């Protein structure tokens, strides 16, 4: 058959659905190296998708097609083949929870997902702390004695989670950690060392660049670990080890709860490695665990702050750009805050390390440059303060997020006092997410499906 012959001669990555004039009641399908999922409803309707999330509420069971598989659907009957041989259909039940596909009274899925973060943070931690120690059963057979460095590869928001983790790995686990953007890593002819643990982070588990980076590391003999939200995804199936982030299905294209659970999972992993390498005292481990257990509470949305951000947002709909600034782990958070805003508001925003502004970007400062300053009390407060003062002296409009009142601020969001920097990190994360949401809603944008973006980026 022409379709089979054509597929047999194709090279590279593809997911194909084809309808021909000659047989208009047949859908031909084929896939290689990028995801294609086939779903079936109670009424035997057939669906195709690149991930399972959009099928929830429609299909009851799915097949995650393997590379090289192809076939056709005619009158609700499915034929599946690989290399001209018929294949049996192994359907897996898809969650029946249609609730997951509903907005529950929220205006957008993204808003619902921001509010869910407290709950899913608890899920991410559940069963992973026992008797004052971190227990990651999934990694029981991973030999940390053979590992003396960590390399993390990811894209977008997942890359920001990776950057946050690099501070934690070096500070607490005392292990060298280096982070790379997956699309850059792939073509730089990297030197790969078998004593380096290769971690990939991905919400969807289908990001092509991250998946290819993972395959490169695996084929070089490195031990690989996926931090992922989607079980059965290509990245999970490829990696040697997986830690699921347990955020539940994320429908909003702009990632929120997936990021929060990635950071929590990486924090748990840091402590797990630190335990193994005996790089922290039992007292520090206990205080880290105490701080971790407090995060679900930190992530409860304070309605008063949400309301304040709603009111403030009307002042931030114009200008020639936003700079989100922070230091230390608040620098990756600044990057993430800026990414959230640009994804859904289409306003220009950058994340920058606050101490680096004086090396160039401060030239942009004027009253139409909006600076969102992350000023935690527990980490480098005085350094951050002087960086923000420099911007104020150049008349930049300042929105300061801090537990400490800051008299130069044009707008001020007061956060709670926290004992641990990660408490401040997650509270500020929530605020930057809500700010982006409110600005985007005021601009009349489609928050959940921003222009030009897709939930799974399965192409290079």
Task: Work out how close the CB of 44 gets to ligand M6R at its nearest, in angstroms, rounded to a whole number.
Answer: 31
Tell me which residue has its CB nearest to ligand M6R. Answer: 156
If the CB atoms of residues 114 and 457 are measured against ligand M6R, the closer one turns out to be 457
**Which value, to the nearest 10 degrees, does the dihedral of the CA atoms of residues 347, 348, 351, 354 take?**
-110
If the CB atoms of residues 152 and 391 are measured against ligand M6R, the closer one turns out to be 152
Spatial separation of the C-alpha atoms in residues 420 and 295, rounded to whole Å: 10
Q: Which two tokens stand for residue 192?
A: 């790969």
Task: Work out how close the CB of 382 gets to ligand M6R at its nearest, in angstroms, rounded to a whole number.
Answer: 32
Spatial separation of the C-alpha atoms in residues 420 and 12, rounded to whole Å: 48
If the CB atoms of residues 160 and 327 are measured against ligand M6R, the closer one turns out to be 160
Q: Which two tokens stand for residue 113?
A: 């997902």
Q: Which two tokens stand for residue 438?
A: 């409110």
The alpha helices in 346-455, defined as continuous H runs, are 381-393, 421-442
Give the number of other Cβ atoms within 10 Å of residue 48's Cβ: 17
Spatial separation of the C-alpha atoms in residues 101 and 103, rounded to whole Å: 7
Binding site for ligand M6R (CB under 6 A): 155-158, 202-204, 207, 210, 253-255, 343, 453, 457
Spatial separation of the C-alpha atoms in residues 295 and 372, rounded to whole Å: 23
Q: Is the dihedral of CA 136, 456, 103, 58 positive or negative?
A: negative
Task: Work out how close the CB of 259 gets to ligand M6R at its nearest, in angstroms, rounded to a whole number.
Answer: 8
Spatial separation of the C-alpha atoms in residues 353 and 333, rounded to whole Å: 10
Task: Work out how close the CB of 214 gets to ligand M6R at its nearest, in angstroms, rounded to a whole number.
Answer: 11
If the CB atoms of residues 258 and 357 are measured against ligand M6R, the closer one turns out to be 258
Task: Work out how close the CB of 203 gets to ligand M6R at its nearest, in angstroms, rounded to a whole number.
Answer: 3
Task: Work out how close the CB of 440 gets to ligand M6R at its nearest, in angstroms, rounded to a whole number.
Answer: 12
Task: Work out how close the CB of 160 gets to ligand M6R at its nearest, in angstroms, rounded to a whole number.
Answer: 8
If the CB atoms of residues 421 and 450 are measured against ligand M6R, the closer one turns out to be 450
Q: What contacts 7, CB < 8 A, 6 or more positions away?
A: 16, 30, 70
DSSP letter for 357, please.
Answer: G
């Amino acid at each position: 058959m022409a379709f089979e012959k054509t597929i047999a001669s194709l090279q590279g990555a593809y997911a194909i659905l084809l309808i021909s004039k000659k047989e208009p009641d047949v859908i031909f399908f084929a896939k290689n190296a990028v995801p294609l999922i086939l779903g079936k409803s109670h009424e035997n309707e057939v669906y195709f998708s690149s991930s399972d999330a959009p099928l929830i509420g429609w299909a009851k069971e799915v097949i995650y097609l393997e590379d090289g598989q192809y076939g056709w659907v005619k009158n609700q009957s499915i034929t599946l083949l690989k290399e001209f041989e018929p294949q049996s259909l192994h359907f897996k039940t898809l969650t029946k929870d249609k609730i997951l596909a509903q907005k529950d009274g929220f205006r957008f899925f993204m808003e619902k997902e921001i509010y869910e973060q407290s709950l899913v943070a608890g899920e991410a931690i559940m069963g992973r702390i026992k008797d004052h120690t971190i227990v990651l059963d999934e990694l029981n057979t991973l030999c940390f004695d053979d590992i003396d460095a960590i390399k993390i590869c990811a894209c977008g928001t997942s890359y920001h989670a990776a950057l946050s983790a690099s501070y934690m790995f070096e500070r607490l686990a005392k292990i060298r950690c280096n982070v790379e953007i997956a699309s850059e890593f792939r073509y730089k002819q990297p030197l790969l060392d078998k004593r380096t643990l290769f971690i990939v982070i991905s919400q969807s588990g289908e990001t092509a660049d991250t998946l290819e980076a993972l395959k490169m590391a695996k084929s070089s003999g490195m031990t690989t670990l996926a931090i992922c939200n989607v079980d059965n995804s290509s990245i999970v199936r490829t990696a040697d080890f997986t830690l699921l982030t347990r955020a539940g299905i994320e429908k909003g294209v702009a990632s929120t709860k997936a990021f929060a659970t990635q950071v929590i999972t990486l924090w748990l992993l840091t402590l797990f490695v630190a335990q193994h390498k005996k790089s922290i005292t039992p007292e520090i481990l206990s205080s880290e665990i105490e701080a971790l257990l407090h995060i679900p509470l930190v992530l409860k949305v304070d309605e008063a702050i949400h309301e304040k951000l709603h009111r403030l947002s009307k002042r931030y709909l114009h200008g020639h750009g936003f700079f989100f600034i922070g230091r230390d782990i608040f620098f990756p958070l600044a990057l993430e805050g800026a990414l959230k805003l640009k994804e859904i508001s289409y306003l220009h925003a950058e994340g920058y390390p606050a101490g680096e502004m004086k090396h160039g970007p401060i030239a942009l400062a004027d009253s139409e440059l909006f600076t969102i300053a992350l000023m935690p009390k527990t980490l480098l407060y005085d350094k951050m303060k002087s960086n923000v003062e420099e911007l104020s002296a150049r008349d930049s409009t300042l929105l300061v997020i801090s537990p400490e009142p800051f008299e130069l601020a044009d707008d001020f969001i007061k956060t709670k006092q926290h004992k641990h920097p990660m408490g401040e990190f997650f509270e500020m994360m929530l605020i930057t997410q809500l700010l982006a949401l409110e600005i985007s809603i005021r601009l009349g944008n489609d928050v959940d499906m921003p222009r030009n973006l897709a939930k799974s980026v399965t192409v290079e």
